[in-house]
Structure 1
Amino acid sequence: MTQFNFNNELSGKIALVTGGTKGAGKAIAERLIQAGATVIITARNLPEEENPNLNFIPADLSTLKGTQKVVEDILERYGRLDILINNLGSSETPGGGFAVLTDEDWESTLRTNLLAPVRLDRGFLPQMIDQGSGVIIHIASIQGRLPLYDSTLPYAAAKAGLINYSKSLSNEVSPKGIRVLTVSPGWIMTTSAARMMERIAESSKGTVEQATQSVMDALGGIPFGRPAKPEEVAEFVGFLVSPRAGYLTGTEYVIDGGTIPTI
């Protein structure tokens, strides 16, 4: 039976985590460092905290120019990429349903949540195929299955597209040695989410616990009783990119504490 050293199981591997400066992306990057990988992160803004073990490339991945910059910089400096974590995702559209959404709302959301990973995959896959190995993780969302139409309709549609694309891509490149997987988290209690709970509590003159419960109720409830921690998502991603998960590809994994009420 193969024995694995979990502390150094990614030693010698080059990994990129998009949106890696905060939240789940930051936790994933730190988890990959612990496993021995050389980790590059990219985002529009500087990291929340300086970490000398992380290599930062500033870029706006919602643009073709931004994704090309990241691909060229990494291949020029490191010569290859072994692990690609397409974690970047955001929704900045207004609430109010379909009627308030403009073409720009739709296009900007699709560029960030769908086209950015498509472009990065396209940039790194030829080199991965040449070396006969690589792992691509697409961080989607349970909104791909459970959309909140009032506030995040374009985001939910983009993530549904990402899940479908990820499965299709895995069918094409898995025979060439590239594993492609999707991770769909539910609500994650990031630093920004915690601040939002504080604002809700202040405006409603309630407690942070009450604010958190109100959001869980809006999601239809979380049977586990709380949001996920960024480190919990990171730990699972760390497993998926490791040799221990070497037979896994083409699958979507949901991490939502039981939020989705159906099979």
Structure 2
Amino acid sequence: MVKNSVLDTTPDADLRGKRVLITGGSRGIGLGIARRLVAGGAAVVTAARAPGEPLPGTTFVKADVRTAEGARALAEAAAAELGGIDILVNNAGAARPYPGGALSIDDAEWRDALDINYLAAVRLDAAVAPIMAEAGSGVIVHVSSIVALAPLPAVLHYAAAKAALIAYSKGLAAELAPKGVRVITVSPGQVASPGADELRRELTRGTDIDPSALQAGIPLGRIGDPVDIAELVAFLVSGRASWITGTNIVIDGGEHPAL
């Protein structure tokens, strides 16, 4: 197996003083991103339906972004806490697998998947982007998923929502670019996190497949770590990436081309 060779987090001058809101920031990828941006000197508000591991340098706001009211309330709370918002990371997401396949997913589950994995970002962007546009700068990062490009029947509702997020991000980037706001999508592959670990267990339950064997299809030989995603996001939201917008960046250890 190839060893994890990610760099240690180090402060970045172009993140110091940046005001950041991260949804789904209490664990997994969201927590990893929060930890990395705090290390770079940013002031961070994390949001989720329930608090997770306390992280020094951040403020936690309990929020449910599955509704328009919840998204607006979160945007207002974060802007009040930070004095504005320079960076928004829409990371909130969830997937409940249906072993019976796409046709066994009921209507309520489709609506819930769209609300949390797609519309939550749309609603929060609508509340936050005007703040950035007025300031003449800002970065919005949408965390999608590799399954948007290689959908699995058991999580087709999740994959479809994340695919919609990629298309929406592209269009929003073109709209906001003249206002100085960049919009980027990141699509992780298999990452070690509480939610993803449980999803892998669910997908392999009732089979002879060990969840850890799923990494066999990853050319770099390992499941990703939240640090991998966090390092990419730290670059994308910094001034070093000032000419990057409207794109979807896949980070999956090379798995997608091998599918």
Q: TM-score higher than 0.5 here?
A: yes
Aligned to 1:43: 48
Label 1:159 to 1:198 Cα distance change in 2 as closer, same or farther (>3 A). closer
2:244 corresponds to which of 224, 248, 253: 248
1:68 corresponds to which of 66, 72, 93: 72
CA distance in 2 between counterparts of 1:227 and 1:243 reads: 29
Contact conserved, 1:93 with 1:105, CA < 8 A, in 2?
A: no
Aligned residues: 250
- Equivalent runs, 1:115-154 vs 2, <5 Å: 115-149=119-153, 151-154=154-157
What displacement does 1:76 show?
2.8
Q: Which amino acid aligns with 1:222?
A: I
Aligned to 1:16: 21
Q: Which amino acid aligns with 1:41?
A: T
CA distance in 1 between counterparts of 2:55 and 2:254 reads: 34
- Equivalent runs, 1:53-132 vs 2, <5 Å: 53-132=57-136
Contact conserved, 2:11 with 2:39, CA < 8 A, in 1?
A: no
Aligned to 1:168: 171
CA distance in 2 between counterparts of 1:118 and 1:180 reads: 12
Q: Which amino acid aligns with 1:69?
A: A
Contact conserved, 2:97 with 2:199, CA < 8 A, in 1?
A: no
**Structure 1 residues not aligned, in runs of 5+:** none
Question: Once the two structures are aligned, what percentage of the paired residues are identical?
Answer: 42
CA distance in 1 between counterparts of 2:60 and 2:33 reads: 14
Contact conserved, 1:8 with 1:34, CA < 8 A, in 2?
A: no
2:220 corresponds to which of 216, 221, 224: 224
* Segment of structure 1 superposing worse, 182-191 or 155-164: 182-191
Label 1:80 to 1:62 Cα distance change in 2 as closer, same or farther (>3 A). same
**Are residue 187 (structure 1) and residue 197 (structure 2) matched?**
no
Contact conserved, 2:144 with 2:162, CA < 8 A, in 1?
A: yes
Contact conserved, 2:99 with 2:203, CA < 8 A, in 1?
A: no
**Residue aligned with 1:90, SS:** coil
* Segment of structure 1 superposing worse, 188-197 or 61-70: 188-197
**Residue aligned with 2:257, SS:** coil
**Are residue 234 (structure 1) and residue 191 (structure 2) matched?**
no
Rg: which structure is higher? Answer: 1
RMSD, aligned α-carbons = 2.4
Residue deviations 1:75-111 (CA, integer Å, cap 9, x gap): 2333310000001111124321122111101000000
**Structure 2 residues not aligned, in runs of 5+:** 1-9
CA distance in 2 between counterparts of 1:97 and 1:202 reads: 14
* Segment of structure 1 superposing worse, 224-233 or 105-114: 224-233
TM-score, normalised to structure 2's length?
A: 0.89
CA distance in 1 between counterparts of 2:201 and 2:105 reads: 28
What displacement does 1:147 show?
0.2
